[in-house]
Structure 1
Amino acid sequence: MLDILISNKTRVKLLLRFFLNPEQQAYLRGLEKEFQDSTNSIRLELNRFEEAGLIVSFKEGNKKMYKVNSNYPLFDDLHNLAMKHFGVDQILDHIISKLGKLKAVYLTGDLASGRDSDLLDIAIVGDKIDREYLATLVEKTEDLINRKIRTVVFDTTETNRLPATRLLIYDERENGQL
């Protein structure tokens, strides 16, 4: 989708990497390995992003780290665009909203780390979740977003078993709004 609007593939990867999960940080060599792209093209785009104010850099040891600038005026719009690109909005509309009382829903796996993936890992926290109905909803949503969805359901007493790297996409305390 974004590849049509933005022809520079490195720029698209960086936008999605930083704006999907704003808590994630990255450094040049790590991005080189992740994207399998040249450090020069990545550095060029990182410099452009930093000059524009989309990201900020800081030193961590001898590494120059990059992180999204959450004060950037279009931060919310770019974050929502990244969420829509990966189909998170469809997951909220077609799965989460129909399951009833949930405590929280997290995006885990590669996407929670800001890495593109055809597989969406979702951790659902709630009691008395109808797993057969969930499987039906997941199957329908997979057809809509052209990605596989893998779900793991946790009872509210099992939250200590949640993966360490996760991105909250639904919270009952916020009435689903994040």
Structure 2
Amino acid sequence: MLESLVTSKTRIKLLLKFFSHANSGYLRSLAKEFDESTNSVRVELNRLTEAGLLVSEDDGKTKLYKANTSHPFFEEIKGMVSKFLGLDDLMERIVKRMGEVEAAYIVGDYAKGIDSGTISMILIGKKLDQHYLDFIREKTYEKVQRKVEVSILTTDPGDIQGILVYGK
């Protein structure tokens, strides 16, 4: 979806980085993270800044870039990025069907805005359906082509397992 609207792979990486979470970054660290040249990252950072989608602030001799949360399209772009990553649908389905989920968190690379191909989640609750978890992990991989790792923290006093980690 995003690839048909945005033709620059570097620009897509930057949008995913800055609009998936409240992330910030420096030119050189972004180039290293994306395994891209500093010039190609600089060009896209300049384009996104000129469009008003990113803001930069001087931090010594370097510039720190982050999403412009006051831009009129900030929420829409953030929503598109979230849908592109499949996180909205994933979280909603898991929370609805897993049982008594008290809290659900995305952690790891995705929480940092890095698309490593693995989504790490923590679910906290009682009587969570671990069979459904195995099923949804497979379906999620088919749908969004990302591995899902889920850690379950139970709040059920009768459950002595406490923490279960599921991954593929």
TM-score, normalised with respect to structure 2: 0.83
Q: Is the 2:99–2:127 contact (alpha carbons within 8 Å) kept by the matching residues of 1?
A: no
Change (3 A) 1:71 1:146: same
- Partner secondary structure for residue 102 of structure 1: strand
User: CA separation in 2, counterparts of 1:60 and 1:130?
Assistant: 48
CA distance in 1 between counterparts of 2:114 and 2:155 reads: 28
Identity among equivalent pairs (%): 42
Provide the alpha-carbon RMSD of the alignment: 1.8
**Larger relative contact order, structure 1 or 2 (CA cutoff 8 Å, min sep 6):** 1
Q: Counterparts in 2 of 1:4-153, with a 5 A limit?
A: 4-21=4-21, 23-153=22-152
In structure 1, runs of 5+ residues without a counterpart are 158-178
Amino acid at match of 2:18: F
Letter in 2 for 1:18: F
Q: Write the letter of the residue equivalent to 2:17.
A: R
Q: Deviations over 1:71-118 (max 9, x none)?
A: 111111111111111111220343222123322211112111111122
Q: Which residue of 1 aligns with 2:162?
A: none
TM-score, normalised to structure 1's length?
A: 0.79
Letter in 1 for 2:8: N
> Conserved in 2, the CA contact under 8 Å of 1:95 and 1:141?
no
Please list every run of 5 or more consecutive structure 2 residues that lacks an aligned counterpart in the other structure. Answer: 157-168
User: What is the deviation of 1:128?
Assistant: 2.6
| Aligned residue identity for 1:150 | E
Given that residues 90 and 145 in structure 1 are in contact (C-alpha distance below 8 angstroms), is that contact kept between their aligned partners in structure 2?
A: no
Aligned residues of 1:90 and 1:141 also touching (Cα < 8 A): no
Q: CA deviation at 1:65?
A: 0.6
What is the alpha-carbon distance in structure 2 between the residues aligned to residue 116 and residue 141 of structure 1? 15
Partners of 2:79 and 2:99 in 1: CA distance: 24
Number of residue pairs the alignment of both structures matches: 156
Task: Please tell me whether the aligned partners of residues 119 and 148 of structure 1 are also in contact (alpha carbons under 8 angstroms).
Answer: yes
